[in-house]
Structure 1
Amino acid sequence: MLLKTIHSKFTIKAAFLLCFISVSMINAQEIIDDEASQVEQPKDTVAPATRIKADGVAAVVGDFIILESDLDREIAQLKAQGADLKDITRCELFGSLLESKLYAHQAIQDSILVNELYISQNTEQQIQGILAQTQGDMQGLLDFYKKDSEEALREEMNEINKNRYLASEMQAKVTGDIEVTPEEVRTFFNDIPEDERPIFGTELKLAQIVVIPEVTEDAKQAVIDRLKEFKKDIEENGASFVTKAIFYSDDGSKSDGGKLPTMNRKQPRMVKEFRDVVFSMQEGEISEPFETDFGYHIVLLEKIRGQEYDVRHILLRPELTQEAIQKAKDEIDEVRAKIIDGSLTFADAAREFSDEKETKYEGGQLTNPVTQDFNFELTRIEPELYSQIQDLKDGEISEVLQDEDRVNRIKFKILTVTDRIDDHKADFAKDYLKIKNLALQDKQVQAIAKWQKETIVDTYIKINGEYRDCDFQSNWLKK
């Protein structure tokens, strides 16, 4: 039953992970305001007395409250995203919500630092993703979430994402140093009864060759010259850096005038080229144009506060000429033809012609980002990739596909299935990495359970109403 227990626990966690990715405006993320208060903590609690609003409060975990309506909102968000909740009880979901607040509360106590860049980028991606589904109806989005402005919406979403990040970092802190030895993996596998050993679905090994259109030197110089003009207009004519960022920048920060999350010398989070420029500037200075993988930038260093730097930037990406695009397309067409006629193997072609550094030296072989091996379980392949390979037979070469990523607006690629492993019961030798991952998860679950048990004892927790009747796995009721 061990494996079933693991799967049950991680099903619940996976479901709640979906909920945290959502952009629901849940008040449970709000830290309690000491002044808004009607109920006091009991005197025998570990935490100091804090006064909170009682109406609608389903639970209190440390410095966080969970309102009666919060779980309903989370369930609605999960259902809207297509999550299957039929085997998950309301009490289990509420327990996961309590758990997330416990992580966030303890992260604050442990002074875990927040990756502000990640928070800001995540918020922006969420907003843009929703707008893409609603034909850009920002007013409709504000009305739905009862916000008066985009700024208010972003502030609240940032706070939600910040607390989700804190919870994730706290969990990583608890489990980050856990490892399993080969003997522990073997023991874990042998302890699973023969009739309960997992069935692993069909797995594929995939390879790709990517050709990226080359940006001309003239196109690069054109954006450099334009950024120099922006800098000159701002410095000599008093033009607004913010306005130029809003109108001309190719970065997602343009809507906020090019403003980026505060940078910190102790925890630099931008790419090296960006950091090197910012940390060499004086307050109020505008940089010369410089290049990163994302394009060309100029940076305004607005304020230096000790180790913290407030910056804005304008990003321009060189235009691709039709000639460059066609040249890349012709090149990959030619490569594909040589592979099909047998004059080149796919692996050799990848090593010679592919522009994707991450795969070319492995003969184009794709690495599964989850398992870190070359196997992709067919039912768990990312939807876009699945759509590109679903009809491929083993060894068959796909048609040339046009694609894009966060660095390249256009790239061309071909894919192939290099190996296929059919459905099979777990085999220790063949599936060692997967079994090792299950054993690691089991050990992490045990560590989390131990951490929760100890932390719950030392944290003020109050469960109200119907939730006191839940049969929680953790001792949230402190019985």
Structure 2
Amino acid sequence: MRKLINIYTGLLAAVFLTGVSVTAGTVAREGADSDSVATAQKVEIPESSIADEVIWIVGDEPILKSDVEMMRLQGEAEGIKWRGNPDCAIPEQLAVQKLFLHQAELDSIEVSESEVARAIDEQINRWIQVAGSREKLEEYRKSSISQMRQELHDEFKNSQLINLMKKQLVADITVTPADVRRYFHDLPEDSLPLVPTEVEVEIITKQPKIEQEEINRVKDDLRAYTERVMSGETTFATLARLYSEDPGTARQGGEMDYVGRGYLDPAFANVAFNLTDPKKISKIVESEFGYHIIQLIDKRGDKIKVRHILRKPKVSDAAIQEMTHRLDSLADEIRGGKYTFEEAATFVSDDKDTRNNNGVMSYISAEGRTSRFRMQDLPTEVAREVEKLKVGEVSNAFEMLNSQGKTVCALIKLKSRTDAHRATITEDYQVMKNVVLEKERDKFLHDWVVDKIKKTYVRMSDRYKNCDFEYEGWVR
């Protein structure tokens, strides 16, 4: 079901292009439960505006035929195999999503706009990689990057709300070692979970020198923004939407949520927390992300709410080539035994997250922080180099973006590789535990949906009433 939700994410944008006009009113329902999403609903579609068909109603939410068709087309493009008849499976999945969204509303679950924006930008960046460039993507989709962000917003927000709702529902479910052993005791070997290839990687990064002329250009732009706002020509928020290079806040006019000092870059925090007048704009401040100007919105206790504009100076090709050459020379010295990779990472690397750990990369997985990466969890540029290496080998220098979105040059060493294999209880207990835990969670969520259906008003076109649904209770 998670895959189906991901498929639907972003598809509703096309609904806005169909010109559909559907009005939801009220329909009388006999014997409605007090816990229903809606106890009285009606759908009214004026003859003059019929451009689509309401095929289901779940609570007070309609499901349109166009919703189903778009999900079907996307599934075909993705090669998705539906459970049973797609004409039945797709509207059912849309209906289930509406149940989770309604519960999220009841439980006051929220996602921040910055989280939504970050997820949208990650999706758009993946599309750009596939298309080859921003320009090619815009040409293919026949819309600008800004329009794509707007079109994707609601569905990405809903997807995150659904995921948070599910996590809350299953938060207290646990399994014991005895549960794990019992589940796998009688399974044939070819039914045991396949553990994918995992690697451990050490990294050295160096940021190429940015020319002073480029830094001055960015600062001049920020000074010009300040002058335009202070003269009344435009607003700070407008300029942030147009020019800020912080994907998490630009769409909101540069606005950040209330945040404490400890969550901000120290240099940024020092300036932001000293602002007192919302009508003024800060001096230019340099952080690890680039250069900012900041405007105060509000202070609340030990938290602050500001908007900002971020600009990132661009690294020249010449600077990248020079740093690549220096790192290639360092790699030769490491291979020659002059230094170990770990020594070089500790004393040379700019990567503050790894240099105090001999360069070992790590990330936060579902089980906590780990240094063992599946290939798909590595940054794309790093994974590409890992594929070329044997354990203990050092790569040639390559270019990549770091976690702050800055261009850096890097070397990596493949520390270890564990090839794909069938899980064993002694070596892969956590993997096997996760399989059992996931099954228990899926069962709980299935039962929750069935119970929720009983308490929710559902109406569907007659042609769906003979469907073989995954969840019982839709047809009454």
The one-letter code sitting in structure 2 at the alignment partner of 1:387 is R
1:365 has 2:356 as partner: no
Query: In the alignment, what sits opposite 2:206?
Result: 211
1:388 has 2:385 as partner: yes
Q: Is the 8 A contact 2:198 2:418 kept in 1?
A: yes
In the TM superposition, residue 457 of structure 1 has moved relative to its aligned partner by 2.5
Query: In the alignment, what sits opposite 1:145?
Result: none
Runs of 5+ consecutive residues of structure 2 not aligned to the other structure: 46-51
Q: Is the 8 A contact 2:320 2:409 kept in 1?
A: no
Name which of 14, 21, 27 aligns with 1:25: 14
The one-letter code sitting in structure 2 at the alignment partner of 1:205 is E
In the TM superposition, residue 68 of structure 1 has moved relative to its aligned partner by 1.7
Name which of 427, 432, 441 aligns with 2:429: 432
SS at match of 2:142: helix
In the TM superposition, residue 172 of structure 1 has moved relative to its aligned partner by 1.8
Q: Is the 8 A contact 1:249 1:315 kept in 2?
A: yes
Whole-Å separation in 2 of the counterparts to 1:459 and 1:270: 44
In the TM superposition, residue 427 of structure 1 has moved relative to its aligned partner by 0.8
Query: In the alignment, what sits opposite 1:296?
Result: 291
In the TM superposition, residue 57 of structure 1 has moved relative to its aligned partner by 1.9
State the TM-score, normalized to the length of structure 2: 0.78
1:259 has 2:253 as partner: yes
Q: Is the 8 A contact 1:283 1:304 kept in 2?
A: no
Query: In the alignment, what sits opposite 1:470?
Result: 467
Give a deviation string over 1:33-85, Cα, whole Å, max 9, x none: 8x6437444442433212224772222223422112212201212333x3442
Query: In the alignment, what sits opposite 2:234?
Result: 240
Any residues of structure 2 matched to 1:75-90 within 5 Å, and which? 75-80=72-77, 82-85=78-81, 89-90=85-86
Q: Is the 8 A contact 1:284 1:303 kept in 2?
A: no
1:13 has 2:5 as partner: no
CA 234–196 in structure 1, closer or farther in 2 if over 3 Å, else same: closer
Please say which of residues 442-451 and 193-202 is displaced more in the overlay. Answer: 193-202
In the TM superposition, residue 206 of structure 1 has moved relative to its aligned partner by 3.0
The one-letter code sitting in structure 1 at the alignment partner of 2:170 is T
In the TM superposition, residue 363 of structure 1 has moved relative to its aligned partner by 3.0
Name which of 442, 450, 462 aligns with 2:439: 442
Count of matched residue positions in the alignment of Structure 1 and Structure 2: 453
1:132 has 2:130 as partner: no
Name which of 15, 30, 49 aligns with 2:40: 49
Whole-Å separation in 2 of the counterparts to 1:121 and 1:377: 23
The one-letter code sitting in structure 2 at the alignment partner of 1:163 is N
Any residues of structure 2 matched to 1:38-437 within 5 Å, and which? 39-45=27-33, 46=36, 47-53=38-44, 56-80=53-77, 82-85=78-81, 89-90=85-86, 91-123=88-120, 129=127, 132=134, 134=136, 136-137=138-139, 140-141=142-143, 156-190=151-185, 192-214=187-209, 223-224=218-219, 227-228=222-223, 230-232=225-227, 234-235=229-230, 237-241=231-235, 245=240, 249-252=244-247, 259-261=253-255, 263-264=257-258, 280-301=275-296, 312-320=307-315, 325=320, 328-367=323-362, 369-370=364-365, 372-377=369-374, 384-405=381-402, 407-437=404-434
CA 63–260 in structure 1, closer or farther in 2 if over 3 Å, else same: farther
Query: In the alignment, what sits opposite 1:458?
Result: 455
Identity across the alignment (%): 27
In the TM superposition, residue 260 of structure 1 has moved relative to its aligned partner by 3.2
The one-letter code sitting in structure 2 at the alignment partner of 1:109 is L
State the TM-score, normalized to the length of structure 1: 0.77
Whole-Å separation in 1 of the counterparts to 2:339 and 2:146: 54
Whole-Å separation in 2 of the counterparts to 1:291 and 1:187: 57
Whole-Å separation in 2 of the counterparts to 1:380 and 1:246: 31
In the TM superposition, residue 307 of structure 1 has moved relative to its aligned partner by 12
Whole-Å separation in 2 of the counterparts to 1:36 and 1:251: 38
The one-letter code sitting in structure 2 at the alignment partner of 1:335 is L
The one-letter code sitting in structure 1 at the alignment partner of 2:134 is A
The one-letter code sitting in structure 2 at the alignment partner of 1:398 is S
In the TM superposition, residue 154 of structure 1 has moved relative to its aligned partner by 5.4
SS at match of 1:473: coil
In the TM superposition, residue 132 of structure 1 has moved relative to its aligned partner by 2.4
CA 88–358 in structure 1, closer or farther in 2 if over 3 Å, else same: farther
Q: Is the 8 A contact 1:200 1:423 kept in 2?
A: yes
Give a deviation string over 1:121-165, Cα, whole Å, max 9, x none: 4445656747826453499338xxxxxx977x7555322222222
CA 59–231 in structure 1, closer or farther in 2 if over 3 Å, else same: same
Q: Is the 8 A contact 1:202 1:423 kept in 2?
A: yes
Whole-Å separation in 2 of the counterparts to 1:453 and 1:276: 52
Whole-Å separation in 2 of the counterparts to 1:413 and 1:193: 44
In the TM superposition, residue 284 of structure 1 has moved relative to its aligned partner by 2.9
Q: Is the 8 A contact 1:297 1:314 kept in 2?
A: yes
Whole-Å separation in 1 of the counterparts to 2:135 and 2:466: 40
Whole-Å separation in 1 of the counterparts to 2:322 and 2:408: 11
The one-letter code sitting in structure 2 at the alignment partner of 1:50 is Q
In the TM superposition, residue 348 of structure 1 has moved relative to its aligned partner by 3.3
SS at match of 1:364: coil
CA 133–318 in structure 1, closer or farther in 2 if over 3 Å, else same: closer
Q: Is the 8 A contact 1:64 1:105 kept in 2?
A: no
Give a deviation string over 1:232-255, Cα, whole Å, max 9, x none: 4542x4443456556654444898
Please say which of residues 283-292 and 373-382 is displaced more in the overlay. Answer: 373-382
The one-letter code sitting in structure 2 at the alignment partner of 1:259 is G
